[in-house]
Amino acid sequence: MSILSLVGLLLSFIGFFICLSAHEAAHAYVADKLGDPTAKYLGRMTLNPLAHIDIIGTVIVPVFLIISGLPAFGWAKPVLIDIRNFRNPRLGNFLTALAGPLANLIFALILVIIIKIIPAASFLILLVRINIILAIFNLIPIPPLDGSKVWNLILPWESYLTLERIGPFILIAFLALSNYGGGAIFILADHISNFLLNVI
């Protein structure tokens, strides 16, 4: 691997950590505002990447996929919440989950505005793309992704718990069928990123 490729990989990881931290901190922040301080007490309501890194999901899996030539994806340590602390547990669970992807979209829009002022900021363009990828990926309504919490509003509780148990297997199958690791997600993210960067 060339020095240029290594630098690109390093920048991608730094960008990934930054965007992932915004995503996870948003979960913790909204949960706290809705009445559950669990994540706050565990130190997750912070933009410090070290508080959110999962060695396997944030480092090992993405590196393995990149080395294998596959689209990279990963995950952070889950933000723990206790839905019993919410006034409306189902709605609180959904809103807390939605906060992560929404934070990434807002972050991307702020970056686009900055890029209009500093057009040569290539690292910021990378951050826009990573934010969009994280938002789209996490909005997929398959457990354990954030988008799956919508089923908590619709399904009976027992059905929702069953879906939560089998969800990871469905997600693995989805990613395997989506052009080896969710390539379709990356294509969609590129289209949205290009639209934001070129139109707004």
User: Residues with catalytic annotation?
Assistant: 24
Task: Find the angle CA(54)-CA(110)-CA(75) to the nearest 5 degrees.
Answer: 15
Cβ 17 vs Cβ 29: under 8 Å = no
CB neighbour list of residue 14: distance below 8 Å, 6 or more residues apart: none
Residue at token pair 């933000």: 79
The structure tokens 């294509």 sit at 187
Q: Round to whole Å and give the CA distance between 169 and 163.
A: 10
Query: Cα dist. 64→3, 60, 68, 72, 73 in Å?
Result: 19, 6, 6, 8, 10
Closest by Cα among 105, 71, 104, 77 to 175? 71
> Residue with structure tokens 């702020």?
110
